[in-house]
Amino acid sequence: CFCQLEGKIDECSCDIDTVDSFNNVKIYPRLRSLLVKDFFRFFKVNLKRSCPFWIDDSRCAIRYCHVESCEEEEIPIGLKGEVKQTTHNKYTEKTDNESCADMHLSYLNTTISKKAQHDMEKWTAYDDAQDNFCIDDDKDEEAEYVDLLLNPERFTGYAGFSAHRIWRTIYLENCFRPKKYFNFNPYIQSDRLSDMCLEERAFYRAISGLHASINIHLSANYLLSSKNGLSFKDPKGEWGPNLEEFKKRFSPETTNSEGPNWLRNLYFIYLIELRAIAKAAPFLENHEYYTGNDPEDYDTRMAIKDLLSVIKKFPNHFDETTMFKGDKEAQKLKYEFKQHFRNITRIMDCVGCDKCRLWGKLQTQGLGTALKILFSGQFDEDSSQDGLEKKKDMQLQRNEIVSLLNAIGRLSTSIYKLDDFRQMMR
């Protein structure tokens, strides 16, 4: 069977069997129960931003591309900006014998400190943006919360010119390419990857793994034929796995032998994101996961701790320290890597189907967050660069945490569903 993959995952010391059993038994069930928690199910996103690269082609009118919006009252108060109450704050308390002069001074202090705080926030945001691999919608005025559980990633019918233009632009203009590769073919044959350096190969494999994951999802959650065959007009629709669709997309016969390599790339991107989560564990363990609902927030923190304790024990994490080693050339490559990836996150604003755009944005942001954790230096154990620069604090915004965990959730589900397809083929 072409999807019965064996051996080591490319660029990694871990084999496919190990990931299959680790994911399907330990990670997948834990992520399933974590990602239904309020903190993780509401994602803030701007789905209205216009495409910066070409004039938008017609937006998909297919019913299944539609994104259900969520009502204001459904959004947990903690996500709407309510700050967690602290019990006692000695700096804001006024004493009875405070003189006018004291009050005047304290007024000045607060004005100065407000300005300083504002400047500080501006500079911190600027510093953080330098480390980022993607453009975050979180602070965007047009961004709105979407309930991910109401809008599952599945077959939408989005295909043809618009979808192909997105993938072609990503591979042709924003992935690194083997030297002397014919430009008119955007899709890289895997046997040409040896002409590229490790970092360039890793970039391609991560994008191809994401593409494979999206296409597994749409095959596993397909609109199944009703009495009259496939019908987009069917109001409820019956959803489930479509083996023929999966075979068409991944069998060697229909993909010029590439399908199994694309599936292997799914394991590669999974290991990248898994390693990023392990590396950010000290930060993730101490986060509040505040939504305003104390019992639920407590459960979320416990579920995160449990997940992290399992991830930390995984034996063969991806080793990011082999990448971008050393000299000026490596730093230049890292810069290009970041620019290419940022461009890919902007291309997501050109996806013509809202549902695909939502999940495309979430998953590219999740991967971008993983790359930030692995390569920005913020999360490295060694606290100094050349012994001169002090390490910045580990910092992730809520949307980065939500996208990272949901992105690994998607990859974990794909690996799980792949096993279902294997069984169906047997």
- Catalytic positions, please? 353, 356
Residues 359-378 that bind ligand FAD (CB under 6 A): 359-360
| Nearest-approach distance from CB 78 to ligand FAD, in angstroms | 29
- Per-residue mark of binding to ligand FAD, 126-165 (x: CB under 6 A): ---------------------------x-xx-xx---xx-
Q: How far apart are CA 317 and CA 22, in angstroms?
A: 12
Residues 6+ apart with CB under 8 A from 316: 12, 13, 14, 18
Supply 160's token pair: 């043809």
Helix (H) and strand (E) counts in the chain: 13, 6
Give the residue with the Cβ less far from ligand FAD, 26 or 165.
165
Residues 155 and 221: beta-carbon distance below 8 Å: yes
Please pick, from the candidates 16, 47, 60, 166, the single residue that binds ligand FAD as defined by CB under 6 A: 166
- Check the annotation: does 169 bind a ligand: no
Please pick, from the candidates 2, 53, 167, 283, the single residue that binds ligand FAD as defined by CB under 6 A: 167
Please report, in angstroms and rounded to a whole number, the separation of the first and last CA atoms in the chain.
8
Q: What is the dihedral of CA 103, 105, 107, 108, to 10 degrees?
A: 170
Q: How far apart are CA 121 and CA 136, in angstroms?
A: 16
| Nearest-approach distance from CB 272 to ligand FAD, in angstroms | 15
Residue with tokens 């002069």: 101
DSSP state, residue 320: G
Residues 194-223 that bind ligand FAD (CB under 6 A): 208, 211-212, 214-215, 218
Residues 6+ apart with CB under 8 A from 112: none
- Check the annotation: does 156 bind a ligand: yes
The Cα diameter of the chain in Å comes to 86
- Per-residue mark of binding to ligand FAD, 217-256 (x: CB under 6 A): -x------------------------------x-------
Give the residue with the Cβ less far from ligand FAD, 118 or 164.
164
Give the residue with the Cβ less far from ligand FAD, 132 or 208.
208
DSSP state, residue 384: E
Q: Which stretch binds ligand FAD (CB under 6 A): 53-61, 141-149, 276-284, 353-361?
A: 353-361
Give the residue with the Cβ less far from ligand FAD, 27 or 170.
170
Where are the strands (E) in 132-190, listed by range?
A: 144-147
Q: How far apart are CA 126 and CA 235, in angstroms?
A: 47
- Residue from 340, 400, 423, 412 nearest 39 by CA: 400
| Nearest-approach distance from CB 139 to ligand FAD, in angstroms | 23
- Check the annotation: does 49 bind a ligand: no
Q: How far apart are CA 34 and CA 12, in angstroms?
A: 28
Give the residue with the Cβ less far from ligand FAD, 284 or 348.
348
Residues 6+ apart with CB under 8 A from 354: 47, 59, 60, 65, 66, 67
- Residue from 65, 71, 13, 66 nearest 42 by CA: 71
- Check the annotation: does 249 bind a ligand: yes
Please pick, from the candidates 70, 135, 356, 411, the single residue that binds ligand FAD as defined by CB under 6 A: 356
| Nearest-approach distance from CB 54 to ligand FAD, in angstroms | 14
Please pick, from the candidates 134, 206, 344, 351, the single residue that binds ligand FAD as defined by CB under 6 A: 351
Give the residue with the Cβ less far from ligand FAD, 208 or 300.
208
- Check the annotation: does 66 bind a ligand: no
Using rule CB under 6 A, residue 61 touches ligand FAD: no
| Nearest-approach distance from CB 324 to ligand FAD, in angstroms | 24
Burial class of 149 by CB neighbour count within 10 A (0 to 12, 13 to 18, 19+): middle
Residue-level length of the chain: 426
| Nearest-approach distance from CB 260 to ligand FAD, in angstroms | 11
| Nearest-approach distance from CB 250 to ligand FAD, in angstroms | 8
Residues 37 and 298: beta-carbon distance below 8 Å: no
Annotated binding site for FAD: 154, 156, 167, 208, 211, 249
Q: Where along the sequence are the contacts to ligand FAD (CB under 6 A)? A: 153, 155-156, 158-159, 163-164, 166-167, 187, 208, 211-212, 214-215, 218, 249, 262, 351, 355-356, 359-360
Annotated binding site: 154, 156, 167, 208, 211, 249
